[in-house]
Amino acid sequence: MSTTDDTTPAIHDPTNIRQPSLKERWWHIMDTWKVGIIPLPLFVLAGVLIAIDCISGKLRSDIVVMVATLAFFGFACGEFGKRLPVIGKIGAAAICATFIPSAMVYYGLLPDVVVESTTRFYKSTNILYLYICCIIVGSIMSMNRTVLIQGFLRIFFPMLCGEIVGMLVGMGVGIALGLEPFQIFFFIILPIMAGGVGEGAIPLSIGYATLLHMDQGVALGRVLPMVMLGSLTAIIISGCLNQFGKRFPHLTGEGQLMPDSANVEATPAQPTLSGKMDVTTIACGALLAVLLYMLGMLGHELIGLPAPVGMLFIAVLVKLCNLVSPRLLEGSQVVYRFFQTSVTYPILFAVGVAITPWQELVNAFTISNLLVIVSTVSALVATGFMVGKKIGMYPIDVAIISCCQSGQGGTGDVAILTAGNRMSLMPFAQIATRIGGAINVSVSLLILGNFLV
């Protein structure tokens, strides 16, 4: 009777390799073939169901149907932008997710029922503010207290220097092109730094209508395209800065403003994700963000401070005073990461459909306007980069915050930080956009009303 030595290595026989079963092949497709974050089979199923609803003319605007609709179109546009050669690496995904839907609406390429349902859902739910509050609160709760204080104290100086230099450069370029100084400043440069549409372009148009005795619709039509082009320029620059940071990693903190933050973040005071949270902890993290935003809304009614800014200050106070437990901080971080990963492109698609007028953007594409806008935003960002480096901050991350000074409000911040892969900077972006824009609009209208009219 013969025996086989168990220590003898077995001869490798390629024919003995087990072929994956049909079930395993299907699972492989589900796990690896994706459009954005959506498995390809689910993406196809969503497209078929949306097409059926569109053909029947009954695409509902409730949250269940809209989750599928916005995810389908948003991730499709984002994936298309990511796969574009060269520009796919400098923010094309955020640009495509915002402006392709706007163009499709204008040229009638998007079914009317999709446009109507998306617009109704976006305007009736204020879904953007839910997104922003979860991003702001989650990013603040994930910061170290020391870094948070240092970042907020130092970020104002690069912002101020950037605005001054940006305005001077923009004025110089405009005058060199033969444009009227009054028109350059009040109808090109100021709208770029006004803080977006709701907090910038609309108050500006109201002020211009009163002080310059012009129709508000006409004023808004001249101001709004500059806001959009400034934001588009900032998105592209932010994407370029992200790539620049990959080539020169010593210039970036990958979402941290302070060079010493890597050491500070390792201290026991900074909670890290343990991976042992239950569903209730995550739910409480989401509820914390919502309640802080409601406090911000209350502050808006009492003192007129924009709700996102009020919420931001309250969240910082909560963090600095250790008013919530480390476990709840973890829940807030998970909520932040969920919204950053899963909701960004659907939100940008809704913004493109509901509030981004394609024709006004195209009409503003004149050589003189573009040169003034690009030079203004570039000078603003370059100044933020250099000043940030000079005062001991990560220059690329400071420069991306400077990009947000010329963003299209909250939606612009989302697109800019998405292009720059720095969503953790949202609290500082809100300061740059909301507070900086409000100061610019208020001071400029005060000057216009008392000295120039």
Residues 116 and 158 in one domain: no
Residues 115 and 257 in one domain: no
Residues 272 and 335 in one domain: yes
Residues 193 and 266 in one domain: yes
Last residue of a domain, which of 88, 107, 123?
A: 123
Residue 115 is part of which domain span? 33-123
The answer to whether position 18 is within a domain reads no
The answer to whether position 17 is within a domain reads no
DSSP 398: H
Last residue of a domain, which of 97, 123, 149?
A: 123
Residues 108 and 135 in one domain: no
Q: Please check whether residue 404 is in contact with residue 200, taking contact to mean a CB–CB distance below 8 angstroms.
A: no
Last residue of a domain, which of 75, 102, 123?
A: 123
Two structure tokens written together for 156: 């104002």
Residue 117 has pLDDT above 90, yes or no: yes
So what's the pLDDT on residue 265?
Answer: 41
Average pLDDT across the chain, whole number: 84
* Least reliable range by pLDDT among 120-129, 234-243, 385-394, 435-444: 435-444
So what's the pLDDT on residue 4?
Answer: 46
* Least reliable range by pLDDT among 95-109, 163-177, 262-276: 262-276
So what's the pLDDT on residue 70?
Answer: 95
The answer to whether position 3 is within a domain reads no
Residues 166 and 305 in one domain: yes
The answer to whether position 398 is within a domain reads yes
Residues 171 and 107 in one domain: no
Cα(first)–Cα(last) distance of the chain, in Å?
Answer: 112
The answer to whether position 233 is within a domain reads yes
Residues 382 and 404 in one domain: yes
Residue 423 has pLDDT above 90, yes or no: no
Give the mean model confidence (pLDDT) for residues 123-132.
86
Short-list 151, 16, 132, CA closest to 407: 132
Residues 117 and 136 in one domain: no
In tens, the pLDDT along 77-99 reads 999 988 888 777 777 788 888 88
- pLDDT bin (cut points 50, 70, 90) of residue 2 is very low
The answer to whether position 11 is within a domain reads no
Task: Give the integer Cα–Cα distance in Å for 379 and 385.
Answer: 10
In tens, the pLDDT along 166-198 reads 999 999 999 999 999 988 998 899 888 887 766
Give the mean model confidence (pLDDT) for residues 132-160.
82
The answer to whether position 6 is within a domain reads no
> 42's torsion region: left (phi>0), alpha (psi -120 to 50) or beta?
alpha
Residues 74 and 161 in one domain: no
Residue 324 has pLDDT above 50, yes or no: yes
Residue 15 has pLDDT above 60, yes or no: no
So what's the pLDDT on residue 269?
Answer: 39
The answer to whether position 26 is within a domain reads no
Residues 74 and 183 in one domain: no
The count of domains in the chain is: 2
> 452's torsion region: left (phi>0), alpha (psi -120 to 50) or beta?
alpha
Residues 226 and 265 in one domain: yes
Question: Angle 279-303/307-320 helices, nearest 10 degrees?
Answer: 120
